[in-house]
Structures are given as structure tokens and as C-alpha cells.
Amino acid sequence: MRKVTWRLSCTLVLSLLVGPTVWPLAASKAAEQAPASPIPADVPQFVELFNGRDLTGWVDVNTGRDTWAVKDGLLVCSGQPIGVMRSEKQYENFVLHIEWRHMQAGGNSGVFVWSEGFVPPGTNLPKGMEVQMLELDWVNQHRTKDGEPQHIGYISGELFGANGLTATPDNPRGSRSMSRELRCKGKGEWNVYDVVCADGTVKLAINGKFVNSIRDSSMRKGYLCLESEGSEIHFRNIRILELPPGITTPEQIAKVIE
């Protein structure tokens, strides 16, 4: 009696899930035979920003010929000289997925969103919102004047306006927003960033959990930039899903670079 009751209960639950008149086995076979519905053209989809073969879609701004290379399907940055390369096109509202790993203890890098995409004279990095990528030993290698390690917020995946971009941090460390939980992995280990950018707000998920955010960005449309800053870093699986545009003013949009 128990087995019959259990079977009837399972059948009832499954019938509620797939419809009261469809038996589970028939529903399973029907699902296997049914053709996949085509995705409408106006539904946002992820697009690869790095094809694993070359640097198509990216433009060097102020680094060198040997700064960026493709090896074994990975985008490899030597870290020298300090500078960036940018995306060919601008983005406004989007979800950016990017995976990275430092190959040197204390390594420094990042990705800029809503960037102007150029570097003013006398500087190495552009105006934009930086999503920080620091290797965990950075705080020990760059100690305070008192010999103490730097604040742990530095290596938490901080978000901050660089070179003139302003914003309001949700978990402030000065003008920067630090993550509420330390989730970045160390040298040689892959980290996964999912960066949601919409209407002046940036939310960052690190290795599967949202832990940081910043808002009221003074720039809301611009270029993506990958940063070279002193040490080797690898990137892979760089893709973007564009979202519908919002309401912006001309001052919030980077000038198009011809």
C-alpha cells in the first residue's frame, strides 16, 4: 500500500507540474520530440568579446606590441607597460561576464566600464569606472607607513571612479566601494566576475555571489578597457549581454573615438 501511495503521490506532483491530463512518461517523450523554439531577434543574448584566437574587437590605447597576446585560447597580458586596450564599441546598460587569474603574487589589474577610452597626456589610465582585480598578496607588498598591511578592502574587488568619474559607494571606503565579503582567489586561480551596469549603477558578483555595488555614476555610456598594470594576468570567457538603453544626458556619454 505504501508503494502504491508513493507512486500515486509522485504521479500527482508530476501531473501538476506538466498538466493534469499528461502522464510523466508521455510528457518526457513529448519534450524530447518537440522542436526548440527559436529565440526572437529582439531578445538580448550574450555576445563573445574575445574569440580565443586574436584581438578582434579590441583596440590598443597606450600599451605595447607585446603587452597583449593570445595563447592556448587565453588572453594574456604581460603587465608592461602600464596602460589599457579598449573595446571597439561603446556600451551603456549591460551584463559583463569576465574570468581572470593573476600569475604573480600581488598582481594588479582591472576592467574599466563606461570609460572615455583614451588616456590624457601625463597619465597611464583613462577616465572610467574601475572594477578592481588585485591578487591577495597586494596588501602585504604595499604596506602602510607604519609597516602594517593595507586595508583588506583593496583586494575585495573594489568599485571606484577613476580619473574624474564620480559615483556614490554603497559600502564606502572613502570614495570607493569595497565588497561586503572577501571572495577573490589568489595567484594561479580563476576568478569569475559578473558585472551588471545599468542607469549609473554597477553591481558586482564575485565567484557566484553579489557582494559590491556603486551608484550615481557621472558616466553611463562608454568603452570597456582591460588594464595592464605591472604583472602578468590572464583573461578568458569575456562576454557581454546588452540591455535596453536608459535616460542619459550628453555629459554622461563618452565621445566616440573615430
Q: What pLDDT, in 10s, does the model give residues 41-68? A: 778 899 999 999 999 999 999 999 999 9
| Residues 23 and 99 reside in one and the same domain | no
| Residues 67 and 144 reside in one and the same domain | yes
| Residues 168 and 144 reside in one and the same domain | yes
With left for phi above 0 and alpha for psi between -120 and 50, is residue 55 left, alpha or beta? Answer: alpha
Give the span between the Cα atoms of 257 and 20, in whole angstroms.
59
Q: Which residue's C-alpha cell is 570567457?
A: 237
**Phi and psi angles of residue 196, each rounded to the nearest 5 degrees, phi first:** -100, 120
Q: Which amino acid is at 234?
A: H
| Residues 145 and 27 reside in one and the same domain | no
Count of beta carbons in the 10 Å neighbourhood of residue 95: 18
Low-confidence ranges of the chain (pLDDT < 50): 1-25, 27
Q: Which cell numbers hold the place of 234?
A: 590572464
Q: Which cell numbers hold the place of 177?
A: 566601494
Which pLDDT value is given to residue 38? 75
| Residues 86 and 187 reside in one and the same domain | yes
| Residues 101 and 229 reside in one and the same domain | yes
Closest by Cα among 157, 149, 153, 156 to 173? 153
Domain-located, residue 92: yes
| Residues 13 and 87 reside in one and the same domain | no
Give the span between the Cα atoms of 159 and 212, in whole angstroms.
8
Q: Which residue's C-alpha cell is 606590441?
A: 65
Domain-located, residue 257: no
Residue 55 belongs to domain with CATH number: 2.60.120.560
Task: Using DSSP bridges, classify how beta strands 233-242 and 74-77 pair: parallel, antiparallel or unpaired.
Answer: antiparallel
| Residues 88 and 187 reside in one and the same domain | yes
| Residues 65 and 165 reside in one and the same domain | yes
| Residues 211 and 151 reside in one and the same domain | yes
Give the span between the Cα atoms of 10 and 18, in whole angstroms.
12
The SS3 call for residue 24 is helix
What is the domain range of residue 12? 2-33
Which pLDDT value is given to residue 17? 37
Show the beta-strand stretches assigned E in 124-232. Answer: 128-134, 159-162, 168-169, 172-173, 176-177, 191-198, 201-206, 209-215, 222-228
Closest by Cα among 66, 71, 36, 37 to 54? 71
Which pLDDT value is given to residue 30? 55
How many domains does the chain fold into?
2
Which pLDDT value is given to residue 12? 37
Q: Which cell numbers hold the place of 217?
A: 555614476
Which pLDDT value is given to residue 40? 76
Which pLDDT value is given to residue 7? 42
